[in-house]
Amino acid sequence: MKHTIKIGIVVITLVAPFAFAQSLKEKEQRKREDEILQKSAKEMNEACKTSIKVVGDWDTFKGALQDSQSHHVGLNCGYYVLDTIKGLCQSDEGKASVKAGLTTVRCQGGGDGDISLKSKVLTFKTKVDTQKSDQPTIVREYLKNNL
């Protein structure tokens, strides 16, 4: 039993720093992407007269958050999702639906424009360079059918 505990402590001590390690470059990218995302969130909330929480789950993205051709995951979530929601709020019906149907928007990695809505939480899964050029239309139709 004592050996098991000692081995466990040694493993945790050796692995923990690497599991949570973030380079300065990663921290700067995450900060920049969050600034992009929160700017879009502020504009959406002002247009919709809401206080929807917008979260960038940056840990779910594997690798860089932007590429050399100015693709950003923060822009993907901001443009494809938040700007689309803002557009829905141009009508009173849209505002009411958004206000009643959303409390949180989550931007996650591991998908190519996948979208889901559960318990008033909209989750958008993207990658740096999504291949779906019609993503705003897909998001708009999804929201119109699910809000």
**Dihedral angle sign, alpha carbons of residues 111, 64, 58, 41:** negative
What pTM was computed for the model?
0.76
Q: What's the number of CA atoms in the CB half-sphere (13 Å) around residue 32?
A: 14
Asked if pLDDT for residue 72 goes beyond 70, the answer is no
* 16-70 residue pLDDT tens: 434 444 788 778 888 888 888 899 999 999 999 999 999 988 787 776 665 555 5
